[in-house]
Amino acid sequence: MTYLSEGSDWNFELLADYDKAIADIAHNKYGLDTYPNQIEVISSEQMMDAYSSVGMPVGYNHWSFGKQFVEVEGRYRRGQMGLAYEIVINSDPCIAYLMEENSITMQALVIAHACYGHNSFFKGNYLFKTWTDASSIIDYLVFARNYIADCEQRHGVTAVEETLDSCHALMNYGVDRYKRPSPISAVEERKRQREREDILQKQVSELWRTFPQLQPAARTREAATRFPAEPQENLLYFLEKNAPLLQPWQREIIRIVRKMAQYFYPQRQTKVMNEGWACLWHYTLLNDLYDAGKVTDGFMLEFLQNHSQVVYQPPFSAPFYSGMNPYALGFNMFQDIRRICENPDDEDREWFPEMAGSDWLQTVKFAMESFKDESFIQQFLSPRLIRHFKFFQIMDDDRNDYVEVSAIHNETGYKKVRDALAEQYNLSIQEPNIQIVSANLHGDRALTLRHQRSDGRPLDEHSATEVLRHLHRLWKFDVHLESVENGTVTESYSMPPVTEPITVM
């Protein structure tokens, strides 16, 4: 038995040795399918840079990233937070950053976690497969950065910044939830972008041409015809294609922000699974290394201490509780799936008849590939885990002056808790459902949006007004937002504000 290393220092040969040992187990024993890895060693300052550009290795310039940076920098310098051990980027090859300050144990942990855990998740999960194109993202980021820098040269920093501000405000509504975009290469993207500039402006002008004699079709077009024909959930896409007065470069910037939103959308939907999967593998792979006698007891102790910190879930009553820890939930769920496969008890056989006793590796891979957080919890959260976490559900109804514990970790509560927790990770419920219902083509060109309320949850008034201001900046004509519940308008906002209530179309 020879240890790969003793002591806590690392060097590049050691990193390569550990990577090789871990890769060997990951690929040959467990058959994880990964992109090639590009492991980059960086300093803590560079880690702060990476942090504040939301993990994009190449980002365009914007003040909000600067704000993020001064915040991270300040908190780090005052010792209020440590930096993440790793950042990993969904690209091909998969880029993972290691911090130079870390010990070899931590580096090995990060290699196992990021380069084999996250990496295989990016490659295997259906959302990532459908929505992102790992091979072209870096090229696209470079294109976006250069394009925006170019716009700043041509149109001034302030004009570009304003457009970006407005786009960022609507970023969560720049996602195609159902339609899959086809990936294209960066070269093609540049070519298309030039063509788009020309064509787009023509089309928009066509749509808004209002001289009847020049446009015979306008007579025949019914005033009552709704445009758009169907409500549009992708606000940014609608603006990019239809906002009347935008410059071609502004449309392109909207498109860039939209693409970013789309790229990050799968990550937002798979926090629990992604982290859980990565934790499962760093735990499994490093334990295998230990079993094979390749690492020391000291290594293992350091690893386990860090691991247990990462997957610790503080109870709701803890002063530092801030919601569910996705690492804890995800890791425990994947471990639990393995347990159900390998050592099922009667309860498991009743709840998961097909899973109990099956091949665990097949099952966790299936779970990783075919679900997102919401459905993953719905499918795989076992009663045993609900008891382990001591979950309880609170119903907060503003019609009552109390809150109620509606379910706890008992026989009658398991299903309710599981449903409620799954719901909590459903983005389409957590984010207000807002769609564009009409753009008045023939009258005042007003744009109307509808917020479909669920469970009586209102919009936050202040931020809604602010976002409308941004929307108005892009649309440049009146913008109305109505909040609708059961067919009746309960709230309405307008930009610029109007005094009398608007009539619903």
Q: What are phi and psi of 13, to 5 degrees?
A: -65, -40
DSSP H helices, 170-317, are 186-208, 217-220, 235-242, 248-269, 271-291, 297-310
Classify the phi-psi angles of 83: left when phi > 0, otherwise alpha if psi is within -120 to 50, otherwise beta: beta
Cβ nearer to another protein, comparing 324 with 439: 324
Cβ nearer to another protein, comparing 70 with 301: 70
Amino acid at 12: F
Beta carbons of 267 and 260 less than 8 angstroms apart: no
Beta carbons of 365 and 123 less than 8 angstroms apart: no
Q: What is the size of the binding site for another protein (CB under 8 A)? A: 106
- Choice from 294, 307, 453, 480 touching another protein (CB under 8 A): 453
Amino acid at 264: F
- Choice from 146, 397, 442, 505 touching another protein (CB under 8 A): 397
CB of 150 to another protein, least distance (A): 15
Binding mask 57-76 for another protein (x = CB under 8 A): ----xxxxxxx-xxx-xx--
- Choice from 55, 76, 129, 161 touching another protein (CB under 8 A): 161
Side-chain-side CA neighbours of 411 within 13 Å: the count stands at 2
Beta carbons of 289 and 111 less than 8 angstroms apart: no
Piece in contact with another protein (CB under 8 A), picked from 225-233, 257-265, 291-299, 427-435: 427-435
d(CA 441, CA 438): 9
CB of 196 to another protein, least distance (A): 27
CB of 191 to another protein, least distance (A): 28
Cβ nearer to another protein, comparing 112 with 356: 112
Cβ nearer to another protein, comparing 39 with 356: 39
d(CA 217, CA 238): 23
Q: Which of residues 73-92 bind another protein (CB under 8 A)?
A: 73-74, 77
Asked if residue 406 binds another protein (CB under 8 A), the reply is yes
Q: Which of residues 97-116 bind another protein (CB under 8 A)?
A: 97, 100, 115
Q: Which of residues 172-191 bind another protein (CB under 8 A)?
A: 172-173
Q: Which of residues 230-269 bind another protein (CB under 8 A)?
A: none
Beta carbons of 180 and 131 less than 8 angstroms apart: yes
d(CA 141, CA 59): 6
Asked if residue 353 binds another protein (CB under 8 A), the reply is no
CB of 145 to another protein, least distance (A): 11
CB of 199 to another protein, least distance (A): 31
Here the tokens at position 443 are 């009258």
Classify the phi-psi angles of 482: left when phi > 0, otherwise alpha if psi is within -120 to 50, otherwise beta: beta
- Choice from 135, 146, 428, 430 touching another protein (CB under 8 A): 430
Cβ nearer to another protein, comparing 276 with 326: 326
Report how far apart, in Å, the C-alpha atoms of 499 and of each of 87, 298, 429, 460, 464 are.
Answer: 49, 70, 31, 20, 17
Q: Which of residues 31-50 bind another protein (CB under 8 A)?
A: 36-43, 45-46, 48-49
CB of 70 to another protein, least distance (A): 4
Q: Helices 235-242 and 248-269: crossing angle, nearest 10°? A: 170
Piece in contact with another protein (CB under 8 A), picked from 178-186, 303-311, 438-446, 447-455: 447-455
Classify the phi-psi angles of 5: left when phi > 0, otherwise alpha if psi is within -120 to 50, otherwise beta: beta
- Choice from 54, 142, 292, 394 touching another protein (CB under 8 A): 394
Asked if residue 423 binds another protein (CB under 8 A), the reply is yes
CB of 34 to another protein, least distance (A): 9
Cα angle, residue 9 at apex, residues 6 and 12 outer, rounded to 5°: 105
CB of 180 to another protein, least distance (A): 25
Binding mask 112-151 for another protein (x = CB under 8 A): ---x------------------------------------
Cα angle, residue 449 at apex, residues 443 and 454 outer, rounded to 5°: 150
Q: Which of residues 201-220 bind another protein (CB under 8 A)?
A: none
CB of 490 to another protein, least distance (A): 11
CB of 49 to another protein, least distance (A): 4
Cβ nearer to another protein, comparing 124 with 413: 413
Q: Which of residues 308-347 bind another protein (CB under 8 A)?
A: 313-318, 321-324, 326
Query: At 451, which helix (H) or strand (E)?
Result: strand 447-452
Residues whose CB falls within 8 Å of the CB of residue 24, separated by 6 or more in sequence, listed in order: none
Of 268, 270, 273, the closest CA to residue 380 belongs to 273
CB atoms near residue 45 (< 10 Å): 11
Amino acid at 230: E
Q: How far is CA 457 from the centre of its chain?
A: 23
CB of 50 to another protein, least distance (A): 8
Q: Which of residues 12-31 bind another protein (CB under 8 A)?
A: 12, 15-16, 19-20, 23
- Choice from 401, 487, 497, 499 touching another protein (CB under 8 A): 401
Q: How far is CA 472 from the centre of its chain?
A: 26
Q: Which of residues 271-290 bind another protein (CB under 8 A)?
A: 271
